[in-house]
Structure 1
Amino acid sequence: MKFSKIIYPIFEEATVAYHITDSVDALINNPYKEKSIESYFFLKNWIDAVQWHLEDIIRNPEIDAVEALSIKRRIDKSNQDRTDLVELIDSYFLDKYKDIIVKPSAKINTESPAWAIDRLSILCLKIYHMQQEINRVNASTEHIDACKAKLSVLLEQKVDLSDALDQLLEDIERGDKFMKVYKQMKMYNDPSLNPILYGQK
């Protein structure tokens, strides 16, 4: 089975699970075995879903400044959690393909498998929310038609991105491409690298 066919249903499952409560404070109930790759995929989409809604909340023009700062801090932490999880997923692939004999002609890809998976998770959320806009009972016909057109593009993108991910993994398995992962090395969260933080000491 194509890898995208395994991943995407887990993303959909997580998206639906989040929207049962539709609360950024809801506790995750991950149905997959702890530390399994499936559990990482479920968690990945859950983190993305929570951050999606935090980004909605902080854009409220009437939001209290103290609340906005609190939400911004949560978004910063979510971004770090997301990056850490992507790197963890890439570690899975590095281990999975560690014994592959790389061909002399092999090339590196512009992004690692996990970052493509990250994009697929976000795309799942875009598709879900665009469908919600289409289903809005109080929306105008023009709004619904515009959202239908956008959904069509998103669904096409889902096919293309899924195919590209599967092709990348197949190329790696054949030794036609190789993985090389760089840690993100985010500087703004590191007290030793952010001058605002280390300047306070």
Structure 2
Amino acid sequence: MISEIANKVFQQAIDRYHQHDTIDHPIENPYDSASLEHLLYLKCWIDTVQWHMEDVVRDPAIDPKDGLYWKRRIDESNQFRTDTVEYIDGYFLNRFDGIQPKPHARINTESPAWAIDRLSILALKIYHMERETLRTDASTAHIEACQAKLSILLEQRRDLSLSIDELLADIESGDRFMKVYKQMKMYNDPSLNPVLYGLQK
């Protein structure tokens, strides 16, 4: 099952990142560059790095110049994340190439890769929520609240994993079909963001 592979690779990426816990540590992707696992590992590594960037930029005492620096890095990371999701969808488009959808075939509200994107974020939420339950400097109430949230996150992961596997099985059988729309983000494009193209006048 793809979800089982994805969850395993996501955990591996998260654990590897936290061995160093440094935003700029090199990725060291252990998988062949042509494999789905390579893309999944890259996707979760980007998410993990960005998770920690988001923590840094929320420091209420951050210098405004540093805040702007991190905001721009987060924007860059978001674009990298989006590109990687689209590469993952490309993998599935190639995998299902030649499958003829049945006459009753339906389209899903999101592509397989965007569902997998949510699974990667869930893996990070689970990792960090579990860490909160292990704190020795937090109150009992905090630990119990985090434990309750962790249980819900684990249930979410089970449900989402099942949904992803069912979606992929339906596409493979022709009961559903996938279409991929590029995100066409505008704020990073100097030809589409009016603030940026206004600077060129």
Give the Cα–Cα distance (whole angstroms) in 2 for the partners of residues 67 and 24 of structure 1: 15
Q: Does residue 66 in structure 1 map to residue 65 in structure 2?
A: yes
Q: Deviations over 1:78-132 (max 9, x none)?
A: 0000000000000000010011111010010000000000000000000000000
Q: Which residue of 2 aligns with 1:21?
A: 20
Amino acid at match of 1:120: L
Shift of 1:35: 3.2
- Superposed, 1:40-51 pairs within 5 Å as 40-51=39-50
- Superposed, 1:37-116 pairs within 5 Å as 37-116=36-115
Give the Cα–Cα distance (whole angstroms) in 2 for the partners of residues 21 and 71 of structure 1: 20
Amino acid at match of 2:148: A
Q: Deviations over 1:115-172 (max 9, x none)?
A: 0000000000000000000011101100000000000000000000000000000000
Give the Cα–Cα distance (whole angstroms) in 1 for the partners of residues 33 and 77 of structure 2: 20
Give the Cα–Cα distance (whole angstroms) in 2 for the partners of residues 35 and 14 of structure 1: 18
Q: How high is the TM-score relative to the length of structure 1?
A: 0.98
Q: Unpaired segments of 5 or more residues in structure 1?
A: none
Give the Cα–Cα distance (whole angstroms) in 2 for the partners of residues 159 and 36 of structure 1: 24
Runs of 4+ in 1 over 2 A off after TM superposition: none
Identity of aligned residues (%): 62
Amino acid at match of 1:148: Q
Give the Cα–Cα distance (whole angstroms) in 2 for the partners of residues 32 and 139 of structure 1: 38
Give the Cα–Cα distance (whole angstroms) in 2 for the partners of residues 165 and 98 of structure 1: 18
Shift of 1:63: 0.4
Q: Does residue 191 in structure 1 map to residue 196 in structure 2?
A: no
Amino acid at match of 1:71: W
Amino acid at match of 1:67: D
What's the secondary structure of 2:22's corresponding residue? coil
Give the Cα–Cα distance (whole angstroms) in 2 for the partners of residues 30 and 92 of structure 1: 18
Q: Which residue of 2 aligns with 1:159?
A: 158
Number of aligned positions between the proteins: 200
Q: How high is the TM-score relative to the length of structure 2?
A: 0.98
Q: Unpaired segments of 5 or more residues in structure 2?
A: none
RMSD: 0.6
Q: Which residue of 2 aligns with 1:131?
A: 130
Q: Which residue of 1 aligns with 2:118?
A: 119
